[in-house]
Chain A
Amino acid sequence: SQTIHQWPATLVQPVGSPLSLECTVEGTSNPNLYWYRQAAGRGLQLLFYSVGIGQISSEVPQNLSASRPQDRQFILSSKKLLLSDSGFYLCAWRVRLGLANYGYTFGSGTRLTVV
C-alpha cells in the first residue's frame, strides 16, 4: 500500500539550533514531493518541491533548505532556526485522482516551536 510518513510529530527547538524534518513515502517510485508550512490560523505556504533525487525547487527565500537524497525521502533542514520558523510543517505527495487529475496525500505534520 502507498503511505507517507513524517516525523517527528512535535519539536521544540531553541533559536539558533539546527533542524531536520524527514518525510518518506512507501509503495511508489519517483514521487513528486512537497514541503508546506502552515502558520497559526493561516493557509498553507509552499516551501519546496522535488520531482526527483537531487532536484529541489524553492518557492520562498528563507532560512530553510530541502534535500532529496533518496527517491522516497524528502528532508527539510535549517542550520540556525529563527523564531519566525515556528509553525506546522506538512509533507505532501502528489497522487493521481482519476484519469488526468492529481491531488495530494499529506503526512501527519510536524509542530515546530522555536523558543
Chain B
Amino acid sequence: SQQGEEDPQALSIQEGENATMNCSYKTSINNLQWYRQNSGRGLVHLILIRSNEREKHSGRLRVTLDTSKKSSSLLITASRAADTASYFCATDGTYSGAGSYQLTFGKGTKLSVIP
C-alpha cells in the first residue's frame, strides 16, 4: 500500500509564486524524503528530513515535518518554469539496519509553473 500520499495531485502556478505540496503517511518513520521527476526521467533526490527535525531548508526548498500528524510539506519559493516537474515524498518506515532498506513513495504532485 502507498505509505505517502501527496496533495494536491496537480498544481498550476505562475512563475514567481510559491508552491506548496503536502504529504501524509501512515506509519512511524526514520526520515521522510522528497524527490523530483522531470517528465520521462528518473527521480532525483531533493531533500531529507529526519523524524526528530521539524523544518529544513535547501536553497529555495523548505520542508516541514509534523510526526504527530504524520504529515510533511514541501515549499518551493519564487518558482521558476524549470521547477515544472512531479514531486514525490518517500518514507523509509522504521528501518533498523537489518534486512533490506526500502522507500515507499506516494503518487506525486504534478507541478506546472507558467512563465
Contact = CB atoms under 8 A, between A and B. Distances in A.
Nearest to A49: B100
Contacts of B50: 101
B54 interface: no
Query: For the side of the interface on B, what is the size category?
Result: 20 to 34
Nearest to B105: A44
A51 B98 CA distance: 11
Nearest to B5: A43
Interface in B27-51: 30-31, 33, 35, 40-45, 48, 50
B2 A102 contact: no
Interface string B103-114: 111111000000
- Most chain A Cβ neighbours within 10 Å, of B31, B44, B88: B31
Contact of A43 (B48, B92, B106): B106
Given A42-B107, A101-B50, A32 B100 contact: yes
A105 B103 CA distance: 12
B101 A94 contact: yes
Interface of A: 6, 32, 34, 36, 41-44, 46, 49, 51, 57, 88, 90, 92, 94, 97-98, 101-109, 111
Given A46-B104, A57-B100, 15 more contacts: A32-B100, A43-B2, A43-B88, A43-B105, A43-B108, A44-B43, A46-B102, A88-B40, A101-B92, A103-B90, A104-B35, A104-B43, A104-B45, A107-B42, A109-B42
Interface of B: 2, 30-31, 33, 35, 40-45, 48, 50, 88, 90, 92, 95, 100-108
